[in-house]
Structure 1
Amino acid sequence: MIPGGFLPDSPVVNVLIIVIATGFIWFGSGWLEESAEHLSAYYGLPAVVQGSIVVAVGSSFPELSSVVFTAIEGTFDMGVGAIVGSAIFNILVIPALSGLVTDGDLDTNRTIVYKEAQFYMIAVAALVVTLSLAVIYVPVPDGPELAGNLTRPLAALPLLLYGLYLFIQWQDVSDHDAGGVTDGTDIGREWGKLAVGLVVILVAVERLVGSVESLSHTFGIPAFLAGVTIIAAATSLPDTLVSVRSAQTGNGITSIGNVLGSNTFDLLVAIPIGVLIVGSVSVDFAVAVPMLGVLTLATVLLFSFLRTDLSVTTFESYALLFAYGLFVAWIVAETAGVTHLIKGA
């Protein structure tokens, strides 16, 4: 019965809850992102830091919530799937949509390409190494051949790398001379709006995860694949909103910075926090790594487009959307049993 025993646990009710929860995620994220932008302006943060840290962490809260709830409920594979699926969506779809809503090309700069994008690629590699160490040193007894337990010491490795990322960003803030915009800003109100947005997102994601888990059991969809598709799309709404809106106002740096910063946070912070909460979780290397391989290819594709004239053209935007279409088609084929590239699913 859901929620609280008042509604039947049926596919129709679960789909309805998913739609409503997604709407609340969008609503809460709007408050969160608006307050984050005002706070960034108030404290005088540079655009790249605003996009890759403040706004990115705020818009990543749905992904973080999904990992925490799936870890608590014992469906951590679904949470990891949501993170990876959301990261692929962010890399391919959001820059494409941002490029299509601008008048001309979506402009970036060398800071985005040579700092944010390259550090993000390091984050992907760090997560693969962490999962590899789990399989090698903490294998799951009587479990799948390539399953390993992510423990708290292993989860600390990506967090340490994110600490380095924050140090680099702090250096950029120290070198930035712009003063804060304090006129007309009620700082207490903005912090309060941010807190309310976080609470709304937290409750909505908890309902979303529960309904998706129920649907996955009903239709026999593997938890990882359910996370990659349904939860990933819903939790990516905040990132889409803030990046497209930034692109429309001509701020391509904040738009792309949000995408890369959000993905960096998801991989290096969201997944480890889920592990820290429950102590140890099992991850099937055979399921996770093929998806991370797709994420790596998507990242290389976006990096290539960003480096070419430091912009994303209309043609490149359509190419990114086409690549995501291929990814979705592959996931459908895996779920239907047409292909078997994901061995553990």
Structure 2
Amino acid sequence: MTITMTVLFIGAGLALLVAGGESLVRGASGLARRLGISPLLIGLVVVGFGTSTPELTTSMAAALRDAPEIAVGNVIGSNIANILLILGLAALLRPIRIDPRPFRRDGSALAISALAGAGALAFIGLERWVGAVLLTGLAVYLLVSWLTGRDRSAAQEEAAPATRPAGRLWVELAFLGAGFAGVIFGAGLLVDGAVSAATALGVPQAVIGLTIVAVGTSLPELAASLSAARRGEGDIAFGNIVGSNIFNILGILGVTALVSPLQVTGGLAGSDLGVMLAASALLLALAIWKQRLSRLHGAIFLALYAAYIASMALA
């Protein structure tokens, strides 16, 4: 593949992923409101998990194309970028307050999923049974979230009954279909371009997965979080990142392992996992002790992310 074609593949893949992710979230949100699904589940599944669809399709495409370091690097790099880059930018734009009540549940899930994913990658590998365990953990988290949030959501809906959106059902379905098509084809183009770039430049696949692919597939989270922060809805910005990171580990690694078992070695199984765990621990510490992310915290997050990228460039 020529340099021009490689650049076109990467650019087209990123564009399709962003457009497809946004279309998918818009269609799913409209359909959920039309069907009267709880706002809690809309925020958790559609916003947090829906924006992780590009990571899912990209990692699966990479695994099927025998590029395991891009598949796993995409997940690790996305989780690092979600916390240090995206939450850093969102907090710098407007400080984010954190509700301690739901965070006890979601923070625990974030910690457990990060440790489980890191342990599997470092010591076991992504065998099919590991994937089944991770997906079971995701199902348990969703069930607990629904059960613990059901009463609160019912009270909110009783106080302010939800209204069905105007328009036709086929519009939401069209957005869903276009979104799935965009992320699937975009993932394939992005992985092909990334593998070609890594080969041509002599750059390890892991570095490409941790940077270009990871940040590119995190753009839907970036758009959603910055938009929420700008409107003063910091809880949505924060929940989007926490939900995405949980889904990245339990859902994406779980599905990828079931489809194509992977073995990962080198930095991805060591230093990069360490960075992901450290970023998660820093976020948890600030959320528990400060219950907010200030502009100073945002600046620190961004500085740490810049140092992380610089360390890979100099390695």
Q: Which residue of 1 aligns with 2:89?
A: 97
Map of 1:15-164 to 2, 5 A cutoff? 15-42=7-34, 43-47=36-40, 49-102=41-94, 105-134=95-124, 148=125, 150-164=126-140
Q: Residue 158 of structure 1 contacts residue 272 of structure 1 at CA under 8 Å; is this kept in 2?
A: yes
- Unmatched runs of 5 consecutive residues or more in structure 1: 1-8, 135-147, 335-345
- Structure 2: how far apart are the matches of 1:108 and 1:36? 26
Spell out, residue by residue over 1:24-79, the C-alpha distance to the aligned partner (whole angstroms, 9 max, x if none): 222222212222333444425235x4333221221111100111111111111111
TM-score (norm 1): 0.83
Partner of 2:234: 252
Q: Which residue of 2 aligns with 1:141?
A: none
* Higher mean C-alpha deviation, range 112-121 or range 255-264: 112-121
Relative to structure 2, which stretch is displaced further, 86-95 or 296-305? 296-305
> Among the aligned pairs, what percent are the same residue?
26
The range that moved more, 213-222 or 166-175, is 166-175
- Determine whether 1:14 maps to 2:6: yes
Deviation at 1:173, TM superposition (A): 4.3
> C-alpha offsets along residues 103-147 of structure 1, whole Å, 9 cap, x if unaligned?
xx222211353222221111011112323552xxxxxxxxxxxxx
Asked if 1:240 is matched to 2:222, the reply is yes
**Cα distance change of structure 1 residues 12 and 269 upon mapping to structure 2, 3 Å threshold:** same
Secondary structure of 1:281 counterpart: coil
> Whole-Å Cα distance in 1 between the matches of residues 111 and 167 of structure 2?
37
Whole-Å separation in 1 of the counterparts to 2:163 and 2:289: 34
- Unaligned ranges ≥5, structure 2: none
Aligned match of 1:142: none
1:298-338: per-residue Cα shift (whole Å, max 9, x none)?
1122222323442211111111111111111111122xxxx
The number of aligned residues is 308
> What RMSD over aligned residues (CA atoms) do the two structures have, in Å?
1.9
- TM-score calculated relative to the size of structure 2: 0.91
Equivalent position to 1:174, from 139, 150, 153:
150
1:215 aligns with one of 186, 191, 197? 197
Opposite residue 232 of structure 1, the aligned amino acid is A
Cα deviation, 1:161-189, whole Å, max 9, x if unaligned, reads: 11111111121342221143314254442
1:277 aligned to which of 252, 256, 259: 259
Relative to its length, the structure with more helix (as a share) is 2
Aligned to 1:138: none
Equivalent position SS for 1:74? coil
